Amino acid sequence: MACIIALIVFSIMGLFSATHRQLAREAFDCVFRRVTFRPCNTGFKEKIRGRIIGKLLKRSVALAKFSNKYFEVFAWIFFLLTVASTGYTIKGGYNFYRYGSCNGLNQGGFCAFDPTGKNNATSSVADGSCPIKQPTTKDLTLSAVDLELFQSKKADSKNDLVFVGCYSCDYTRKAYPVVKKLLEKENINYTFIHFSVKNENENFPLYVYAASKIDQEKYWRLNDLFFEASKEDLQSQEKIDKMVIKVGYDLQVIKDEAQKETTKQAVQKQIEEIRKTHIYGTPTVFINGRSIVGPKPYRVYKLMLR
């Protein structure tokens, strides 16, 4: 058992030093002999034991005696721990590949492959109220949401993607090009929901709604422009107006539409509808009903498709 643990430990340490590589080789030889039902007569186990108990002896004879007596037991415990941690490492690696986080889809906590946690980072949508129960990933849903209220591109696909984000949020801006690439490469029914979270220009939602109502084609181009523009530009009414004109809208028509009471009501309705998703941060992407919170690598979105 000691040989197996030593093999694992020294194999890892062997990546960094030649001495440990040699020990790993010895451990391998010992393990190989064991699995081929031959005695491990390399003396490797005794060497490891001698080193460990010898070190303990310097601290306390009793401790060394105890450790020597239960050496095999400790070896088994370490073995099981090693197996368990190897299992977790493999699972973590799989989760990272599949969901962009070692801990699983939308799960925070430290991940060695994503140490800064950027794949899970979101811009909070908290509105200053203090709910008794903080929403979690489990609460995220589209089931009660009327998606007809938002802009969509139907592609007659078996895959549905709903992107909830805000133009001036860093993480949405990070996720958007990735999702856009996915939409370009795959055939997907797509719905975009703009959800203002930062102190954006208050006219923004009204403009966006008006634009989408007046011309769908131009709206999608405007959408791209907003994500391409700097965050500062999105604060400026003048710059927004310029972008509206650039994609070919008549600014006055948009302004008039935005001022209408019906537009305000529709935007209000949209906000209420979005709340029903219980999202707590942007970007939140729903692919076929499953939520993905935070900007994920391309493969994560792709793997969620049917």
Partner 1 sequence: MNDSSIQSNFPTLNKRKSIEEFVYFDNACTTLRPKSVINAMNKYYEEYSVCGERSLHKLGKMVSDKVHETRSLVARLIDARKEEIVFTRNTTESINFVAYSIDWKKGDVVLTSDKEHNSNLLPWIRLSAKLGTVHAVVKSDSNGSIDLLYLKELLEKYNGKVKLVAVTLSSNLDGITNPVLEIARLGHRYGALILVDAAQGLPHQSVSVKKFDVDFLAFSGHKMLGPSGTGVLYGKKKLLEEFEPFMIGGGTVVKSTYNSYCLENIPERFEAGLQDYAGIIGLGEAVKFIQKVGYKEIARRDLELNKYITDYLCSIERVHIIGANEPEKRGGIISFYVDGADSHMIALMLDEANIMVRSGQLCVHSWFSDKDIQGAIRVSAYFYNTLEEAEYFTKTLSNILKAV
Q: Does residue number 53 form part of the binding site for partner 1 (CB under 8 A)? A: yes
Site size toward partner 1 (CB under 8 A) is 16
Locate all alpha helices (DSSP H) within 36-169, ordered by sequence: 44-59, 61-69, 71-99
Among 15, 19, 46, 268, indicate the residue that binds partner 1 (CB under 8 A): 46
C-alpha angle 132/133/137, rounded to 5°?
160
Q: Select 38 or 133, whichever has its Cβ closest to partner 1.
A: 38
Tell me the two tokens of residue 49: 């034991």
Q: Does residue number 264 form part of the binding site for partner 1 (CB under 8 A)? A: no
* Distance between CA atoms of residues 243 and 249, nearest Å: 9
* Distance between CA atoms of residues 99 and 141, nearest Å: 18
Q: Does residue number 51 form part of the binding site for partner 1 (CB under 8 A)? A: yes
Q: Select 19 or 230, whichever has its Cβ closest to partner 1.
A: 19
Q: Does residue number 9 form part of the binding site for partner 1 (CB under 8 A)? A: no
Among 21, 25, 34, 49, indicate the residue that binds partner 1 (CB under 8 A): 49
Rg (CA), the chain: 29
Chain positions 182 to 241 lying near partner 1, rule: CB under 8 A, are: none
Among 22, 54, 231, 246, indicate the residue that binds partner 1 (CB under 8 A): 54
What does the chain come to in residues?
306
β-strands 189-194, 160-165 pairing: parallel
Residue type, 246: K
Q: Nearest Cα to 105, choosing from 274, 298, 306, 294?
A: 294
For residue 272, how many other CB atoms are within 10 A of its CB?
11
Stretch that binds partner 1, among 21-29, 51-59, 75-83, 158-166 (CB under 8 A): 51-59
Q: Does residue number 29 form part of the binding site for partner 1 (CB under 8 A)? A: no
Q: Select 58 or 133, whichever has its Cβ closest to partner 1.
A: 58
3-class SS of residue 194: strand
Helix (H) or strand (E) run with residue 302 in it: helix 298-304
CB of 49 to partner 1, least distance (A): 5
CB of 173 to partner 1, least distance (A): 58
For residue 38, how many other CB atoms are within 10 A of its CB?
9
CB of 78 to partner 1, least distance (A): 18
Q: Select 66 or 113, whichever has its Cβ closest to partner 1.
A: 66
Q: Select 59 or 306, whichever has its Cβ closest to partner 1.
A: 59
Q: Does residue number 247 form part of the binding site for partner 1 (CB under 8 A)? A: no
Evaluate whether 230 touches 186 at the Cβ level (below 8 Å): no
Chain positions 57 to 86 lying near partner 1, rule: CB under 8 A, are: 57-58, 61, 64-65, 68
Q: Does residue number 34 form part of the binding site for partner 1 (CB under 8 A)? A: no
| Phi, psi (deg, nearest 5) at residue 193 | -120, 115
Residues in a beta bridge with 290: 287
Evaluate whether 205 touches 213 at the Cβ level (below 8 Å): no
CB of 3 to partner 1, least distance (A): 14
Among 15, 22, 43, 299, indicate the residue that binds partner 1 (CB under 8 A): 43
Which residues contribute to the site for partner 1 (CB under 8 A)?
43, 46-47, 49-51, 53-58, 61, 64-65, 68
